[in-house]
Amino acid sequence: MNTPFVSAEIASQPEVWRQAAGLATAESLPRPGQRVAVVGCGTSWFVAEAYAARREELGQGETDAFVASEYPSGRRYDLLIAISRSGTTTEVLDLLRQVRGRQRTLAIIGDADSPGVSAADDVITMPFADERSVVQTRFATAALTLLRAGLGEDIEPLAAAAEEIVNWQVPAEVLGRTQFTFLGRGLGVGLAHEAALKMREASIAWAEAYPAMDYRHGPKAITDDTSAVVFLGDRPEGLVEEVEALGALALAFDEDPQLTVVRCQLLAVANALHKGMNPDTPRNLTRSIIL
C-alpha cells in the first residue's frame, strides 16, 4: 500500500497549527464574557466539546457545545460557532440557515469554495488545513488551535512539542489489542471522543471514550487483557494502576491533551495498517455526510 495521505496530514500539524493561530486576530471570534454555542458533526462536534471545556476553564464565558442536529432552537447565544471541514454537512448548513437573522453566527470551514462559506454572518476559512483523507486529523486540531489562540493561549510551545510527537513510534504491544478506551478530563474529554472516533473510522476498531472520572461508573466492566486505555490529560489518582490490574495496557503522557490526540491519530493509522486497511478511505464513510 502507498503511504496514506493521512500520514502526511498528521505530520504537517505543527506548521498548520502555527498558520491557524495566525488567524486568531479575527474580530469575529468570541470576546470574553460572551455566551457562546459551538456546533459540529462527528469530529467537528468533538472539537466543539473540547473548546467549550477550555473556554469555561479559562473563565472566558459560558460556552455550550452541541452536535449540530440537536441544537436547542429555543436558545439564544451571543454567538453560534459552526465548525465544518467540508462546509457541506447537512445538519450544520440546515442549522445555520435556520438561525440566520435571529442569531449571530461564525463558520470555521476548511473548503473555501463550499456553501458553508456563505451560510454564516462571518466565516474563517482554513484551506491550508483541508485534507485528502476522509478521516480528519489536521483540520480538527487546526480548528481547535485557532479557537484556543483566540482565547489568548500561546500556541508556539504546543506546535514545537508536536514536532517531536508526529514522529512517535506507536509501541508494537498496542497493536495486538482489540479494544481501545480513551479517557480525558477538561479539554481532554472532547479529545478522548475524537481519539475514539479516529480508531473507529481509520481502523474499524472497537473504541470508546469517557470522562476519566466516569470510567469507574460502568465502562470499566469492559476492560480486560484485550484492552488498551489511553489517558488524555490529568489522570485520576490510582486509575492507571486499576487499569493495569485488569490486564489492560495503559498509555499516559504528561502533556497537553491536544498533543496526546496526535499520538492517538498515529495509533489509529498504525492499527489500520496493522490490519491491512487503508486509513484514508474507511468503509461506509464519505468525506462529508450530505443527507
Closest residue to ligand F1P: CB criterion: 42
Nearer to ligand F1P, 63 or 288 (CB): 288
Cβ partners under 8 Å of residue 17, min gap 6: 141, 142, 145, 155, 158, 159, 162
Residues in binding contact with ligand F1P, number by CB under 6 A: 17
271-290 residues near ligand F1P, rule: CB under 6 A: 285, 287-289
Rounded to whole angstroms, the maximal C-alpha distance in the chain is: 56
Residues in 6-45 at the binding interface with ligand F1P, rule: CB under 6 A: 41-44
Among 84, 103, 141, 260, binds ligand F1P (CB under 6 A): 84
The window from 22-30, 82-90, 167-175, 217-225 that contacts ligand F1P (CB under 6 A) reads 82-90
Is 58 or 204 the residue whose CB approaches ligand F1P more closely? 204
Q: Cα–Cα distances in Å, from 135 out to 43, 61, 213, 236, 250? A: 9, 32, 28, 30, 25
Task: List, in sequence order, the alpha helices (H) in the chain.
Answer: 5-11, 13-21, 43-57, 90-99, 138-150, 156-165, 172-175, 187-203, 239-245, 257-274
Among 86, 223, 258, 271, contact with ligand F1P (rule: CB under 6 A): 86
Could you give the CA distance from residue 222 to residue 225 in angstroms, rounded to a whole number? 10
Smallest separation (angstroms) from ligand F1P to the CB of 225: 30
Of 51 and 215, which CB lies nearer to ligand F1P in the complex structure? 51
Is residue 202 at the binding interface for ligand F1P, with CB under 6 A as the rule? no
Using left for φ > 0, alpha for ψ between -120 and 50, and beta otherwise, residue 35 falls in beta
Cβ atoms of 208 and 182 closer than 8 Å: yes
Residue 86 or 141: the one with the smaller Cβ distance to ligand F1P is: 86
Q: Which residues bind ligand F1P (CB under 6 A)?
A: 41-44, 84-86, 89, 92, 134-136, 201, 285, 287-289
